[in-house]
Structures are given as C-alpha cells and as structure tokens.
C-alpha cells in the first residue's frame, strides 16, 4: 500500500490561482454579502410564523 | 469491461398535511398523486385510468453477495397503493408513507438533473392540484429532504447499471471510499445530529441529512440498519450481463450542481472500477465512523484513518478519484461515462474541489450544504441565536419546502444547469436515448392498450385471447434512434406489436 504522501495534493499553481485576494474576487465577495443581507431582510416574511410549533410538528414516518 | 452507465434516481418527499387533527401520510400521499393524475389527464371521470405498475418479476430480496441472510429483511412492496407510470417514463407512487418519484432511465448526469427537476415540477403541480380539492383550511406541503430532525429518515436512491462480471468486492471497496468522501459536495446540510447520544451542542451543523442513519458497511436493508453499500441484486435488465448498483447513502439535493456531481462522479468512478483502473485503494479503518466524521467536519480537514495505519482527508481522496477519472477519460474516451457530459462533470468536479479547498463560501450558490449554512449562519449571527434555537431548524426544513414562494433553496439563488422550459417538457416527454423512450411513447400514444408497465417490460391488451408482454431487457434499446420511426408509422398498438414481431 502506498504511503499517504503519494496522494497527490493539488499544487497551488495549478488549482489555486491567486484570485483570492484579487479585486475581482473581493468584489464578488462583497456582492455575495450584500445578497445575503437582502435575503436575511426578507426571510422573516417567509419563515413559518411559529417556528417552534412548526419544527415540533414536522414529524415524518420513516422511509427507505 | 466498462459498459454505458444508465442511471436513474428515486426521491421520497417529506409530506405534511396541515389543518387536520389526525394527519395520515399514506392517505395524503394518495390524495396528492391522484390529484396529479386527474389534473394531468392520466385519469378521468369517464373511466380513463392510469397504467399501473406491474410487480411481476420484482425480487427485491435477492442479494448481490450471492446469498440471502436470514437476518436481512427484504423491503416490503406495497402493491395495493397508487402506483402509476408517467408518459415521461417515470414512476410516481406511494412508498413507506411518502410520495416517491423515480426518474426514467437516463444516459448521462445532465439528463438525470433534467428529470429530477421535472419531478420537482410534478411535485409542485401535485400540491396545487391536491390543495384545490381539499377543504380551504387544509393544505398538503412537500419537502425535498431526507430527515425530520427527530430520528426519522426517508430516502433518496441512485441506480447505476454495471457490468455483471465486475467482482462485487471491488465495487464495495472503491464505492465506500467515494460515498464517504463525496459528501463534501453532495451533502444537503442539516442543523444538529440524529446520531443516538449526540446533541446539537456537539454537532451544530453537518454536511448531510443522511449520514446519521447508516450503521453497516454492506447489507440488504433500506429502512433499518442502513448499509453504505446496498446489496439488492435486482437489475431490471438482463441479469446475465448486468447488475444494478442501488445506492441508498446519498441526500436528495435541491441544488442541480450537487445532483449533477453526485451522479456524474459516481458514474465515472464505477467505469474505473469496471476497468480496474483505480491504482490506489482507500480502505477506511472504520467506514461507518468515517461517513459520520466527514459529515460532521465543516473544516473538511480531519484526517480519516485508513486500515493500513495511514490517513487521508476527504478532499485528498476526492482529488485522487478526480485525477484518476480524468486520466481514464483521456485514455478511454467518454463513450461509457455519459458522452461529452462527462467532460463537464470533470470540469465541475475540479472547480468544486478547488473551491472547497480555497474557501467553501465561494460555492454558496452551487452546493446545498454551503448555501444552507451561509443562510442559517447569517440569520444566527444577525439575531445572536444559539444553534438550538427552533428558528434555525425551521430555516433548515424550509430550505427544502417545495412551494416556490416558501422554498429557501429557491431564494438563495442556486445556479441551474437545466432551464424550467426544458424541464416542463420533460414532465411528459421521455428521454430519447434509453428504453424509457419506448415506455413513454407507448403510454403517450397507446395507453388504452397498455395494461401494465414496469422497468423491463410492457404488457398490452389488444383484444386477442392472451395479453402480450413486450420485454425490454436492454436499457439502451427502445431509443428514439431505434424505434422512433415505428411510432410515426403505426396508428395502433396492434400494428406496433405486429411490426415489433411479438
């Protein structure tokens, strides 16, 4: 059996282009944050009105 | 030798009947499915009826290991409940107190996503149709999830056609390593744990719905002591040539990308297993514990103990499977792994593993467990809530709500692989490139002459003395290329059967 070291980890050059810190990536990350904020603003409108009762009453018969 | 990977998936939906004192999920599932069958024209008041599922030749107790253990109980088959065949080749029925839709046989991962989306649209239309006939203060709601958070699970199953000559032991070894580690992109996410004795404090959030419910490595059961590898040996095809690998360990995914990768990567890994192309075995010291460990580890960094005393992370094992699959496709082509769709699977697989390695949150519009985590985590922070707060569990369940206006999976803006116009057509049109084409077209054109149908045959009554059974033991025969002209040229089932020579 091969040693663990032989599991080839992807090299950063190949698979981690240094986009992480690039302006494009941080812009995208800001966008995602803004979208999440909008979503969280809406969520109380769609959330079941009595969460505790809803969760308690969500009972399923087991299946496969 | 690898064979083309015909694939189908089965989804049991969670069901809630609101506004009634004593809800009965079996009755509610029947109301739901019957409402759809009337609404979509399968049934009518003037006596038109659906084509029923034919249980002949169904033998769910056969075990791939070549024996039947007395401790193994074959699953019950409920033959008396509503069980219809649809014109897209799918099956829609009541199973274990849940409505279940099995997709038609598909030839690639994209087709599976299309028919899974069509099934969601069928589920939505069923709710609307059922709620129109229920009293105004009642409502049936479906959830595409796999757990009620109280220790009850209901399934999502995958089926893959594999070469009968492939040693089953080899399938077991490599599939366990894939099924345990693919959870990092297939998980639908869950608040809390349902592993006995484990609390939400210990596991506030995990990658999958189902990992808590698996207790064995290999076995025949599907409802208790669930095994990572299910040994049901019922190919619904020529048993001398084929096996159907029945996979019960996955989650149902609202995310199309999770579904695409779940079946696409598994089809690839199975082809490599058939051709004995996986050079390294990853055998876990304790597979069931590893399944839960991966599901419970949001860092994706925990080393998993291997039987040889070394360790590997889920990401490392997935990279190895990805790299081997890419090499395999470069050497062998894509013919048996879903055609050009396999190239898209490889590219998305690589992109998702890269994203998981760099920052999982970059995949918040692609993978379910991340989309749900971001939503629930954001809500929790905003309101300063404890993980045990019922509002977080409510968000978890509502992520899977099938009502478009309530579904949080819809709200988080998941990327789609198939559009809804195409999926709406797939509610009634079969895939063109598997035997589901023949089944679906016969039901579209000659349903009055079809007495019953199942995966591997159709039974006709054309007014002669005996019923006529047309066997379909080859999943890739009966395609549009093969029999499409017959449906243009025959204007009756009698003529069709004459031309088929049966």
pLDDT tens for chain B, 502 residues long, are: 899 999 999 999 999 999 998 899 999 999 999 999 999 999 988 878 888 888 876 777 777 776 554 444 444 555 678 999 999 999 999 998 999 999 999 999 999 999 999 999 999 999 999 999 999 999 999 999 999 999 999 999 999 999 999 999 999 999 999 999 999 999 999 999 999 999 899 999 999 999 999 999 999 988 888 999 999 989 999 999 999 999 999 999 999 999 999 999 999 999 999 999 999 999 999 999 999 999 999 999 999 999 999 999 999 999 999 999 999 999 999 999 999 999 999 999 999 999 999 999 999 999 999 999 999 999 999 999 999 999 999 999 999 999 999 999 999 999 999 999 999 999 999 999 999 999 999 999 999 999 999 999 999 999 887 899 999 999 999 999 999 999 999 999 999 999 998 5
Distance, in Å, from the CA atom of B422 to the CA atom of B419, rounded to the nearest integer, reads 6
3-state helix, strand, coil in chain B (%, to 5): 40, 15, 45
Which residue of A lies nearest to B94 if distances are taken between CA atoms?
A: A63
Distance, in Å, from the CA atom of B401 to the CA atom of B146, rounded to the nearest integer, reads 12
Distance, in Å, from the CA atom of B191 to the CA atom of B375, rounded to the nearest integer, reads 12
CB-based contact, B352 to chain A, within 8 Å: no
Q: What are phi and psi of A58, to 5 degrees?
A: -80, 85
Length of chain A equals: 64
What confidence score (pLDDT) does residue A42 get?
87
In A, which residues are within 8 Å of B375 by CB distance?
36, 39-40, 43
Question: Got the DSSP string for B284-347?
Answer: BSSHHHHHHHHHH-TTS-PPEEBTTS-EE-HHHHHHHHHHHHHHHHHHH-SGGGTTTHHHHHHH
Contact A15 B408 (CB under 8 A): no
Distance, in Å, from the CA atom of B25 to the CA atom of B17, rounded to the nearest integer, reads 7
Q: Report ipTM for this prediction.
A: 0.91
Residues whose CB is less than 8 angstroms from the CB of residue B178 and which lie 6 or more positions away in sequence, other chains included: B265, B266, B269, B321
Contact A51 B357 (CB under 8 A): no
| Cβ-based interface (< 8 Å): residues of A facing B | 1-4, 6-10, 15-16, 20, 32, 35-36, 39-40, 42-43, 46-48, 51-52, 54-64
Residue-wise pLDDT tens digits, A11-50: 433 444 444 445 666 676 677 778 888 889 888 888 888 9
What confidence score (pLDDT) does residue B332 get?
94
Rounded to a whole number, what is the distance in Å from the CA of B327 to chain A's nearest CA? 14
Contact A64 B97 (CB under 8 A): no
Half-sphere exposure of B485 (CA within 13 A, CB side): 4
The owner of tokens 């169904």 is B58
What confidence score (pLDDT) does residue B77 get?
52
In B, which residues are within 8 Å of A56 by CB distance?
390
In B, which residues are within 8 Å of A52 by CB distance?
390
Distance, in Å, from the CA atom of B241 to the CA atom of B496, rounded to the nearest integer, reads 28
Half-sphere exposure of B337 (CA within 13 A, CB side): 30
What confidence score (pLDDT) does residue A25 get?
60
Contact A64 B154 (CB under 8 A): yes
Distance, in Å, from the CA atom of B129 to the CA atom of B363, rounded to the nearest integer, reads 35
Contact A61 B97 (CB under 8 A): yes
Q: Which two tokens stand for residue B88?
A: 């897209």
Closest CB to A63 among B154, B280, B411: B154
CB-based contact, B152 to chain A, within 8 Å: yes
Counts for chain A of helices (H) and strands (E), in that order: 3, 0
Whether residue B31 contacts residue B130, with contact meaning beta carbons closer than 8 Å, is answered with yes
**Which 54-93 residues of chain B touch chain A by CB within 8 A?**
75
Rounded to a whole number, what is the distance in Å from the CA of A64 to chain B's nearest CA? 4
**Which 282-311 residues of chain B touch chain A by CB within 8 A?**
306, 308, 310-311
According to DSSP, residue B63 is labeled B
Whether residue B87 contacts residue B428, with contact meaning beta carbons closer than 8 Å, is answered with yes
In A, which residues are within 8 Å of B411 by CB distance?
39, 42-43, 46
A&B contacts, CB < 8 Å: 127
Contact B395 A8 (CB under 8 A): no
Distance, in Å, from the CA atom of A26 to the CA atom of B387, rounded to the nearest integer, reads 29
- What residues of B are annotated to the active site? 95
In A, which residues are within 8 Å of B280 by CB distance?
2, 6-7
Do β-strands B52-53 and B7-12 pair in parallel, antiparallel, or remain unpaired?
unpaired
Q: Which among B371, B122, B132, B144 has a CA at the least distance from the CA of B252?
A: B144
Rounded to a whole number, what is the distance in Å from the CA of A21 to chain B's nearest CA? 11
What confidence score (pLDDT) does residue A26 get?
67
Counts for chain B of helices (H) and strands (E), in that order: 15, 18
Which residue of A lies nearest to B317 if distances are taken between CA atoms?
A: A7
């Amino acid at each position: 059996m091969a040693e663990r070291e032989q599991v080839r980890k992807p090299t950063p050059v190949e698979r981690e282009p240094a986009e992480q810190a690039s302006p494009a990536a941080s812009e995208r990350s800001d966008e995602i944050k803004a979208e999440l904020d909008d979503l969280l603003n809406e969520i109380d409108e769609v959330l079941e009105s009595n969460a505790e009762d809803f969760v308690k009453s969500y009972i399923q018969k087991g299946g496969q | 030798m690898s064979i083309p990977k015909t694939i189908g998936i089965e989804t049991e939906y969670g069901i809630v009947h609101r506004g009634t004192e004593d809800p009965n999920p079996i009755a509610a599932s029947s109301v739901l499915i019957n409402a759809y069958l009337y609404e979509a024209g399968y049934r009518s008041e003037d006596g038109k009826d659906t084509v029923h599922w034919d249980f002949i030749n169904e033998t769910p107790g056969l075990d791939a290991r070549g024996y039947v253990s007395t401790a193994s109980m074959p699953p019950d088959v409920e033959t008396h409940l509503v069980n219809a065949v649809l014109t897209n080749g799918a099956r829609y029925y009541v199973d274990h107190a849940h409505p279940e839709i099995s997709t038609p046989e598909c030839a690639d991962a994209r087709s599976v996503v299309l028919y899974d989306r069509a099934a969601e649209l069928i589920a939505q239309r069923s709710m609307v149709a059922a709620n129109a006939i229920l009293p105004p203060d009642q409502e049936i709601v479906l959830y595409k999830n796999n757990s009620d958070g109280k220790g009850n699970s209901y399934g999502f199953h995958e089926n893959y056609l594999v070469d009968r000559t492939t040693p089953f032991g080899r399938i077991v070894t490599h599939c366990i390593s894939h099924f345990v580690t693919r959870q990092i992109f297939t998980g639908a996410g869950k608040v809390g744990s349902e592993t006995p004795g484990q609390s939400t404090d210990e596991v506030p959030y995990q990658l999958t719905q189902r990992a808590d419910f698996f207790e064995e490595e290999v076995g025949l059961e599907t409802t208790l002591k669930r095994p990572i590898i299910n040994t049901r040996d019922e190919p619904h095809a020529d048993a001398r040539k084929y096996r159907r690998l029945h996979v019960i360990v996955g989650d149902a995914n609202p995310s199309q990308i999770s579904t695409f990768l779940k079946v696409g990567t598994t089809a690839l890994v199975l082809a490599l297993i058939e051709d004995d192309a996986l050079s390294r075995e990853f055998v876990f010291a304790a597979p069931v514990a590893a399944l839960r460990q991966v599901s419970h580890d949001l860092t994706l960094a925990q080393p998993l103990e291997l039987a040889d005393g070394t360790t590997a992370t889920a990401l490392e094992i997935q990279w190895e499977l990805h790299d081997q699959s890419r090499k395999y496709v470069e050497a062998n082509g894509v013919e048996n792994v879903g055609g050009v769709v396999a190239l898209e699977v490889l590219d998305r697989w690589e992109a998702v593993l890269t994203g998981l390695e760099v920052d999982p949150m970059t995949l918040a519009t692609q993978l379910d467990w991340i989309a749900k985590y971001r939503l629930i985590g954001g809500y929790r922070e905003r309101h300063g809530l404890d993980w045990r707060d019922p509002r977080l569990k409510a968000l978890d369940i509502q992520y899977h709500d099938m009502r478009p206006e309530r579904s949080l999976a819809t709200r988080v803006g998941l990327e789609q692989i198939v559009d809804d116009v195409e999926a709406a057509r797939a509610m009634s049109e079969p895939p063109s490139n598997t035997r589901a084409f023949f089944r679906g077209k016969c039901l579209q054109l000659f349903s009055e002459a079809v007495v019953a149908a199942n995966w591997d045959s159709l039974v006709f009554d054309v007014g002669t003395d005996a019923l006529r059974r047309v066997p379909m033991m080859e999943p890739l025969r009966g395609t549009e290329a093969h029999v499409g002209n017959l449906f243009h040229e025959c204007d009756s089932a009698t003529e069709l059967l004459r031309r088929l020579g049966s």
